[in-house]
Amino acid sequence: MTIVVTGATGQLGHLVIEALLRRGAAPQDVVATGRDEAKLAPLAALGVRTAVADYADPASLRTALEGATKVLLISGSEVGQRVAQHGNVIDAAKDAGVELIAYTSIPKADTNAMLLAGEHRATEELITASGLPHTFLRNSWYLENYLPQIPTYLEHGVVGAAGEGRISGATRADFADAAAAALLADDSAGRVHELGGESFTLGELAAAVSEASGRDVTYTEVPGDQLVEILAGAGLPRPFAEVLADADAGIARGELEVTTGDLERLIGRRPTSYREAVAEAVSALAPSAS
């Protein structure tokens, strides 16, 4: 069996490779692909095979996926181009005759109204139309979407437009472990995994930062258009700020709350909670910042 992980040089992909090996995959049976050969070197050091492949280069994908049994398509980072790029991977997987293609998607992709969900939904539709056996790994928010902002939270508090909406976040490592488990399972074809950990509101996130740091950290709710201005004023490109504000609106609607328990079942353990992740991130800060 040969398992190909696309986009393996990214933060999630590297963790998937490590999880596959930890779960018993033979290094020679794992192929890590990425655009940058230099970034593939640390993965090669783990003993896995590597291949340079670009989502925008169909020829490189066909070469990388040749002989593949299973493929993990990790969603690309180029918003607006992802459907066409993912389509190239799907076509290469079909040409290779893979037995399973797994895709990292978003919760409730078939009904989710968030701007970010559109390309995921379209990709799922392409995979279904391809006729390939498949599984969808519908990941909720990475806790790492919030953890790097803790110094800002300590200074200014948490600001958002998510109301009392709940986020079933988990660490990248937990989502990566779930992907590895699904790839190694014999019964993954046809499954849709709605994946998320312990849920929290942004207010509860602020309270967790406050508890871990011993400082008063509060959550301030603002209208979505005001959040766009705040984020743009902080230096984010306006289109990205608009996507983030839209994501908060989706959170308020419950788009990122997952109650299936699929993540815990797949990885065979309790996912890292947001409180644990926040406490670890705060403890890692310099003493002057905590």
Average pLDDT, the chain: 96
Angle (CA) 202-262-205 rounded to 5° is 10
The residue ranking higher by pLDDT, 287 or 40, is: 40
How far apart, in Å, are the Cα atoms of 144 and each of 22, 41, 66, 176, 196? 22, 24, 34, 13, 13
Could you give the CA distance from residue 197 to residue 265 in angstroms, rounded to a whole number? Answer: 11
Q: Which residue from 37, 31, 249, 233 is spatially nearest to 152, judged by alpha carbons?
A: 233
What confidence score (pLDDT) does residue 103 get? 98
Query: What confidence tens digit (pLDDT) does each residue in 224-266 have?
Result: 999 999 999 999 999 999 999 999 999 999 999 999 999 999 9
Rounded average pLDDT over 4-33: 97
Per-residue pLDDT of 43-61, as tens digits, reads 999 999 999 999 999 999 9
pLDDT in tens, 180-231: 999 999 999 999 999 999 999 999 999 999 999 999 999 999 999 999 999 9
Q: How confident is the model at residue 116 (pLDDT cuts 50, 70, 90)?
A: very high
* Nearby residues of 33 by Cβ (< 8 Å), 6 or more positions away: 4, 5, 6, 7, 8, 40, 50, 51, 52, 53, 64
110 to 71, 123, 124: CA distances (angstroms) = 22, 11, 8
CATH number corresponding to 3-139: 3.40.50.720
Q: What is the residue type of 61?
A: L
- State the pLDDT at residue 286: 63
What are the tokens at 175?
């989502």
d(CA 81, CA 104): 16
Is the confidence at residue 290, as pLDDT, over 70? no
Query: What dotted CATH number matches 140-171+196-257+269-290?
Result: 3.90.25.10
254: left (phi over 0), alpha (psi -120 to 50) or beta: left
Q: Say if residues 205 and 276 touch (Cβ distance below 8 Å).
A: no
What are the structural domain ranges in the chain? 3-139, 140-171+196-257+269-290
Q: pTM of the prediction?
A: 0.95
Q: Above 70 in pLDDT, residue 287?
A: no
Confidence at residue 78, expressed as pLDDT on a 0 to 100 scale: 86
